[in-house]
Amino acid sequence: MKILHTSDWHVGKVLKGQSRAEEHKAVLAGVIDIARAEQPDLVIVAGDLYDTAAPTSEATRLVTRALTALRRTGADVVAIGGNHDNGPALDALRPWADAAGITLRGGVRENPDEHVIDGTTAGGERWQLAALPFLSQRYAVRALEMYELTAAETNQTYADHLGRVLGRLTEGFTEPDRVHLVTAHLTVTGATTGGGERDAHTVLGYAVPATVFPATAHYVALGHLHRAQRVIGPCPVRYSGSPLAVDFGEQENVPSVTIVEVTASTAARVREVPVTAASALRTVRGTLAQLAEIEAPDAWLRVYVREQPRAGLREEVQELLPRALEIRIDPELLAAPGSGARIAQRSGRSPRELFADYLDSRGHADEGVQELFDELFEEVEH
Taking each continuous run of H as one helix and of E as one strand, the counts in the chain are 11, 19
Confidence of residue 42 (pLDDT cuts 50, 70, 90): very high
Q: Is the pLDDT of residue 197 over 80?
A: no
Give mean pLDDT, residues 323-346: 67
How high is the pLDDT of residue 17?
92
Give mean pLDDT, residues 281-288: 94
What DSSP character marks residue 112? G
How high is the pLDDT of residue 152?
52
Give mean pLDDT, residues 194-214: 74
Lowest mean pLDDT among 106-120, 222-236, 350-364: 350-364
Q: Is the pLDDT of residue 362 over 70?
A: no
330-337 CB contacts, 8 Å cutoff, 24+ apart: 330/285, 330/304, 330/305, 330/306, 331/304, 332/304, 332/306, 333/306, 333/307, 333/363, 334/362, 334/363
Q: Is the pLDDT of residue 132 over 50?
A: yes
How high is the pLDDT of residue 315?
94
Distance separating alpha carbons of residues 219 and 233, to the nearest angstrom: 11
pTM above 0.75, yes or no: yes
Encode pLDDT of 156-186 as tens digits: 788 988 999 999 999 999 999 999 999 999 9
How high is the pLDDT of residue 359?
74
Give mean pLDDT, residues 201-226: 88
Per-residue b or e along 208-243, where b marks 16 or more CB atoms closer than 10 Å to that residue's CB: bebebbbeebbbbbbbbbbbbbebebebbbbbbbbb
**Among 210, 212, 237, which Cα is nearest to 46's?**
237
Average pLDDT value for the chain: 89
Q: Give percent of the chain above pLDDT 90.
A: 69
Give mean pLDDT, residues 337-350: 52
Judging by beta carbons within 10 Å of its beta carbon (0-12, 13-18, 19+), is residue 319 exposed, middle or buried? exposed
Confidence of residue 196 (pLDDT cuts 50, 70, 90): low
Q: Return the bridge partners of 15, or none.
A: 18
H-only helix segments in the chain: 21-38, 57-72, 87-92, 94-100, 137-146, 158-169, 288-293, 313-320, 331-334, 351-361, 367-381
Confidence of residue 150 (pLDDT cuts 50, 70, 90): low
Give mean pLDDT, residues 219-236: 96
DSSP codes joined into one string, 4-51: EEE----BT-EETTEE-HHHHHHHHHHHHHHHHHH--SEEEE-S--BS
How high is the pLDDT of residue 341?
41
Encode pLDDT of 44-84 as tens digits: 999 999 999 999 999 999 999 999 999 999 999 999 999 99
Q: Is the pLDDT of residue 275 over 70?
A: yes
- Find the length of the chain: 382
Give mean pLDDT, residues 120-147: 88
Q: Is the pLDDT of residue 191 over 70?
A: yes
How high is the pLDDT of residue 23?
96
Question: Higher pLDDT residue, 77 or 311?
Answer: 77
Q: Is the pLDDT of residue 257 over 90?
A: yes
Lowest mean pLDDT among 174-183, 267-276, 337-346: 337-346
Confidence of residue 139 (pLDDT cuts 50, 70, 90): confident
372-375 CB contacts, 8 Å cutoff, 24+ apart: 372/311
Lowest mean pLDDT among 117-131, 194-208, 253-267: 194-208
How high is the pLDDT of residue 344?
41
Q: Is the pLDDT of residue 100 over 80?
A: yes
Question: Higher pLDDT residue, 331 or 174?
Answer: 174
Q: Is the pLDDT of residue 338 over 60?
A: no
3-state SS class at 320: helix
> What is the fold of 2-274?
Purple Acid Phosphatase; chain A, domain 2 (3.60.21)
Q: Is the pLDDT of residue 360 over 90?
A: no
3-state SS class at 292: helix
Judging by beta carbons within 10 Å of its beta carbon (0-12, 13-18, 19+), is residue 347 exposed, middle or buried? exposed
Domain segments of the chain: what residues? 2-274, 279-334, 342-381
